[in-house]
Amino acid sequence: MNQMAKLTWVETKLQFRDWGTVAFGLLLPSVLLVVLAFAYPGFRDPVPELGGLRPVDVYTPIVLVLALVMIGISAIASVLATYRHDGILKRLRTTPVGPARLLAAQLLAQLLVATVGAALAVVAALTVLDVVPPRSWLGVLAGLLLGATSLFGIGLVIGALASSTSVANAIASVTWMPIMLLAGLWFPRDAMPAAMRRVSDFSPGGAGADAMQQAWFEGVVPTSSLGVLAAFALVTGGIAALTFRWD
């Protein structure tokens, strides 16, 4: 096995040994979706304001964003801060492999967990909740991947700037809420006041939810939202690269 594959494999195993965090990222989206659908009155009834869709339909892409946020912000920021604080990245600097590859392996492992979490939510939506299959799988996948890149970028920035794991966790926990608020987790984007809706359009959560909702139910690949996500990924990636310290 080459080094990159081995590093990714090891980092993936390590994620799964931290079962609490992984279970949260893996299961929260699908569990939340199913619980909302069955506990909330009218969640499975068509609503005219949603163009005849049911709230649970509209929520499916939102919990996919939640899957990415849980992993991309909380898990990555925390792992990164720990790896730096504990000298794990520094130790790698003294080997022929270098810490950048460990970082890449860690991101790949997290992406894997987030993807599986999202996939579970999609399966739950399609099988248990009778959500119509996406009209554009490709568009949903594009939204998912670009959404992951931009949200992982935010996690990297937090991990780069935080001096310790607890600081990283604290910043992450105040960051994910506005992102999910703007993604429409507490009330749909269509119900937001105009100004808030505008902010939502340009936020990674809102743009991610919008991209996947449009691809899912209208079958279009929403270039503007994907553009917002790509821009976020570039900016956060750039900030992380400029501020990152190995030790």
Which candidate, 222, 62, 205, 215, places its Cα nearest to that of 147?
205
Token pair of 30, please?
A: 């699908």
Question: 133-164 b/e with 16+ CB inside 10 Å = b?
Answer: ebebeebbebbbbbbbbbbbbbbbbbbbbbee
Give start and end residues of each alpha helix (H) in 184-222.
Answer: 194-201, 204-213
Residue closer to another protein by CB (options 87, 178) is 87
CB of 5: closest distance to another protein in angstroms? 9
Residue closer to another protein by CB (options 25, 61) is 25
Residue closer to another protein by CB (options 75, 129) is 75
List the beta strands (DSSP E) in the chain.
Answer: none
Token pair of 64, please?
A: 């996919």
CB of 108: closest distance to another protein in angstroms? 15
Chain residues in the site for another protein (CB under 8 A): 1-3, 6-7, 10, 13-14, 17-18, 83, 86-88, 90-91, 93-97, 247
CB of 181: closest distance to another protein in angstroms? 33
CB of 20: closest distance to another protein in angstroms? 12
CB of 131: closest distance to another protein in angstroms? 36
Token pair of 11, please?
A: 């980092």
Residue closer to another protein by CB (options 17, 195) is 17
Residue closer to another protein by CB (options 99, 155) is 99
Which candidate, 209, 212, 230, 229, places its Cα nearest to that of 220?
212
